[in-house]
Structure 1
Amino acid sequence: MSLLAIGINHNTASVELREKVAFSPEKLAEAHKQLEADSNIKSGVIVSTCNRTEIYFDVKPASRGKVIDWMTEFHQVKPEEIKSCLYVHEDQAAIKHLMRVSCGLDSLVLGEPQILGQVKQAYSSARELKSVDGTMEKLFQKTFSVAKRVRTETEIGGSAVSVAYAACTLAKHIFESLSKSTVLLVGAGETIELVAKHLSDNGCENIIVANRTRERALGLAKQFNAEVISLEEIPDHLHRADIVISSTASPLPIIGKGMVETALKKRKRQPILIVDIAVPRDVEQQVGDLNDIYLYTVDDLQSIVQQNMEQRKVEAIQAEAIVSEESIAFMTWLRSLHAVDSIREFRTSANEIREELIAKSLQSLAAGSDPEKVLLELSNKLTNRLIHAPTRALQSAAEQGDPEKLSVIRQSIGLDDLQQN
């Protein structure tokens, strides 16, 4: 059997094509059922996210083309539409690719941790559907330990590389504990939702959501047990906020200098961190001139994100080295399994020859033959039978003028290398 990885991702295919070959939960069970029914496939795991669709197989070496055909037929896409976007990795390359994907080295955002959870879920689903066993199971377990090693030995996931994450990281640097801080989130779009998630993950319990439409804000508030106010109510609640993070689509500023001055008076000059990640800006530029106000714009955060991305690239060098080392080690172990099978077959063959010749010798002895002659005949026949295959292999290598093959055969039967003589 041979390990095979086939897929498309954000680097090779458009989102429209990725949508066509994505495996929904409903399709996933049927796909695994079909894979299990194919005698050419021993096991398989399907990883399907918004940025990639990949299938990892343990297959017969000659089945690569059949697997690609199955993928196009299953999703009912034209072969010419997908084949130019497909990448195919075999054996060690497949092992290394899976490890790189799981460590976030092949992600749209370098080092992002979500992909590991998605790969784990894909593996878990395959196990539940009884589509993975043996070598594939060992490979995924090893991959998860490699991802853990990369996270432990490098800082590839330690720096903020999204504006939302950078905003929360900035707040953590300025305030000792987010659990004691009150945060006002202005807006309720995807960016603010991501900010709220990061805040919640870091122990923030006091969140106020201000939005133009209460319905959208209520949905967000329910997730994070937050309080909801309207944009018009911000002046009445701004003084409560230690941190303000704003991201709306408003064409005009929502928070002005006068509003913030009033809030500072009510706070008795306790400082406020304001992070404005909206374009156009939600906070008047003059707010940054006030004492006790720390105002950061999206440009400030982009600078932080860029610095952190460069740091991740540095850490990725070490991560790549770990993945290379571990993929080679796993492939070495895999090859050793093939050696075990070969040794077992060779030993079985030799024992069959021995038992056949001993049986004939015992028959000769029972018939009254000379024991010395029987023993001599046994030793000669056993020697000839055992050296027959290696002798033929030596002759073939010599006739083909293949010194490397000849050297390997000589070494395998205990002879010195010809180059040493």
Structure 2
Amino acid sequence: MRHHQGMSLLAIGINHNTASVEVREKVSFMPETMSESLRSILDLPGISETVILSTCNRSEIYCQSDKATESADALVNWLAASHHLDPAELKACTYVHTDDRVVDHISKVAAGLDSMVLGEPQILGQLKSAYAVAQEHKAVGSMLNFVFQHSFKVAKKVRTETAIGENAVSVAYAAVSLSTRIFEDLSTCKALLVGAGETIDLVARHLREKGLTQITVANRTLARAESLANEFNARACLLSDIPTELPHADIVISSTASQLPLIGKGMVERALKARKNKPMFMVDIAVPRDIEHEVGDLNDVFLYTVDDLRSVIEDNRRSRQVAAQEAERIIENQTEVFSSNVNIRAAGSVIRVMREKAHRVKQKELDKAKKSLAAGEDPEAVMQLLAHNLTNKLMHSPTVALRTAFEEGDPNANDWALKLFEIKP
């Protein structure tokens, strides 16, 4: 890791890889106490800026601090105390990053490389909102602004230049994305969803996102079907209504806990006849199966099972892995760019101060010379004195500093002196 003049970044955190759900639950931050938490962190030694990111899979604190080690210890102790945890237990599952590594880490988080589901897009929104909240409470300054803007830009670059977010890795999404292979435009399709668990909930959500509005939910109890149907502006029916609903369904996705198949070959044959053999896309996500295996033998039916979906998901996972490697390279590159920008910013401020000092020396000597000329002194002599004084004053500080550096045995003194004054050794 390179040293940076202007960077003194610190990040500490826990995530799904380092801490159990029990610990993660305890370390979460509530929105209503966020301003209090931000203030408490700013009171810790060395910390001048901070942002808190808290999701169900991670809690992370980003800081600008001029005492990294001291601040990191103080942060872990503060976290443990404020969430009633044993500091040693917390320390065991906490990671600490500084400078470059902070920039690298936050970019990975923003791009979804550090998420449970590789490349998931929600985390970027959560990061943006954490940053906005910290801004609102005046907890961020120019350094963290610089870092967060950088991470948002990198996440966008990763999304546009790699396939990290494409290709679903959840069963529900894979089921819906398979249906788009059969039907080009889902907005004209009708769907029958059988079951009312979490998977069906997700399936309904993904179908709506793809423009499908006509959904019927069938379930063993009407109440459960209705509560899901209300959420998605859909119709509810009972499992016993499936034979009458089936002829209207272009897409059937089933996921119940039933021990026996709910949809048999005869029932589907009758539905196809009523549909005048318009094709049907069916996905059986249930284990054991909800749709009889023989249904797949019928013409005009495209039947997929969990195993088919698994292979789709596996392919997608692999392509995400490849994308993740490309993303890592992009992030590494961009972190280097960021670091040199920070160094340029730091150098810029040093150079500005140096020039301002030289400018003050020049102004003072120039004023003196003008006075002498006004008093009628010999212009030649005034110019000689001006040049002599300017050279002496400008060379004074570097000469003293160089002499001290040589006396203290600084190994770089010689090289720097020659570099600064462009003297060939």
Q: Establish whether TM, by shorter chain, passes 0.5.
A: yes
Deviation at 1:415, TM superposition (A): 2.3
Deviations 1:94-129 (A, max 9, x none): 112111111111111111111111111212222222
In structure 2, the residue matched to 1:341 is 349
SS of corresponding position for 1:254: coil
Partner in structure 2 of residue 9 of structure 1: 15
* 2:59 corresponds to 1:35: no
Moved more, 26-35 or 242-251: 26-35
CA distance in 1, matches of 2:8, 2:183: 54
Call closer, same or farther: CA 1:77–1:370 in 2, change over 3 Å: farther
Task: Report the alpha carbon displacement of residue 65 of structure 1 after superposing the two structures with TM.
Answer: 2.8
* Amino acid corresponding to residue 84 of structure 2 in structure 1: Q
Could you tell me which runs of 5 or more consecutive residues in structure 2 were left unpaired when the two chains were aligned. 1-6
Q: Which deviates more from structure 2 when the two are superposed, residues 330-339 or residues 195-204?
A: 330-339
Aligned CA distance change for structure 1 residues 359 and 245 (closer, same or farther; 3 Å): same
The corresponding residue for 2:86 is 78
Please give the alpha-carbon distance, in whole angstroms, between the structure 2 residues aligned to 1:79 and 1:369: 76
In terms of mean alpha carbon deviation, does 365-374 or 251-260 score higher? 365-374
What is the CA distance between 1:148 and its match in structure 2?
Answer: 1.8
- Written as runs of structure 1 = structure 2, the 5 A alignment for 1:71-110 is 71-110=79-118
Cα RMSD after superposing both structures: 2.8
Matched ranges for 1:254-293 at <5 A? 254-293=262-301
Asked if 1:317 is matched to 2:325, the reply is yes
Partner residue, 1:209: 217
Aligned to 1:126: 134
Alpha-carbon separation, structure 1, partners of 2:423 and 2:78: 48
Alignment pair present for 1:23 and 2:23:
no
Q: Contact 1:271/1:292 (CA < 8 Å) preserved in 2?
A: yes
Cα distance in 2 between the residues matched to 1:274 and 1:369 = 103
Deviations 1:299-333 (A, max 9, x none): 11010111011111222222222222222222222
Does the CA contact (< 8 Å) of 2:44 and 2:74 recur in 1?
A: no
2:249 matched to which residue of 1? 241
Equivalent residue, structure 1, for 2:227: 219
Q: Which whole-Å CA distance do the structure 2 matches of 1:141 and 1:349 have between them?
A: 33
What is the CA distance between 1:14 and its match in structure 2? Answer: 1.0
CA contact (8 A) 1:393 1:409 kept: no
Distance 1:394 1:136 in 2: 35
Call closer, same or farther: CA 1:41–1:195 in 2, change over 3 Å: same
Query: Could you tell me whether the CA contact under 8 Å between 1:257 and 1:287 is conserved in 2?
Result: yes
CA distance in 2, matches of 1:255, 1:413: 86
Q: Distance in 1 between matches of 2:214 and 2:312?
A: 26
**SS of residue in 1 equivalent to 2:215:** strand
Q: For residue 61 of structure 2, what is the amino acid of its counterpart?
A: I
Q: Determine the structure 1 residue equivalent to 2:423.
A: 415
AA in 1 matched with 2:320: R
Identity rate of aligned residues, in percent? 52
Distance 2:346 2:305 in 1: 59
1:271-301 C-alpha deviation (Å, 9 max, x unpaired):
2111111222222222222222211111110
Give the number of aligned pairs.
Answer: 417
AA aligned to 1:20 is K
Cα distance in structure 2, aligned partners of 1:363 and 1:294: 97
> Following the alignment from structure 1 to structure 2, what is the Cα–Cα distance between the partners of residues 265 and 112?
42
2:193 to 176, 185, 190: 185
Deviates more, 1:305-314 or 1:262-271: 262-271
| Superposition TM-score, scaled by structure 1 size | 0.89
**Distance in structure 2 (CA, Å) of the matches to 1:20 and 1:7:** 13
The offset of 1:378, in angstroms, is: 6.5
1:170, CA displacement in angstroms? 0.2
> Which of 150, 173, 177 is the equivalent residue of 2:158?
150
Where do 1:39-58 residues align within 5 Å? 40-58=46-64
Moved more, 98-107 or 310-319: 310-319
Q: Which moved more, 1:309-318 or 1:374-383?
A: 374-383
TM-score normalised by structure 2 residue count: 0.88
Q: Return the alpha-carbon distance in structure 2 between the equivalents of residues 347 and 127 of structure 1.
A: 33
Q: Distance in 2 between matches of 1:246 and 1:396?
A: 81
| Higher deviation after alignment, 363-372 or 101-110 | 363-372
Contact in 1 for aligned 2:194/2:255 (Cα 8 Å): yes
Amino acid aligned to 1:118: Q
Shift of residue 9 of structure 1? 0.9
SS at match of 1:46: strand
The question of whether the paired residues in 2 share the 8 Å contact of 1:4 and 1:56 is answered with yes
Over residues 9-48 of structure 1, what are the superposed CA-to-partner deviations in whole Å (9 max), with x where a residue is unaligned? Answer: 1111111111111112123232123234557333222111
Q: Does 1:69 align with 2:69?
A: no
Partners of 2:52 and 2:61 within 8 A in 1: yes
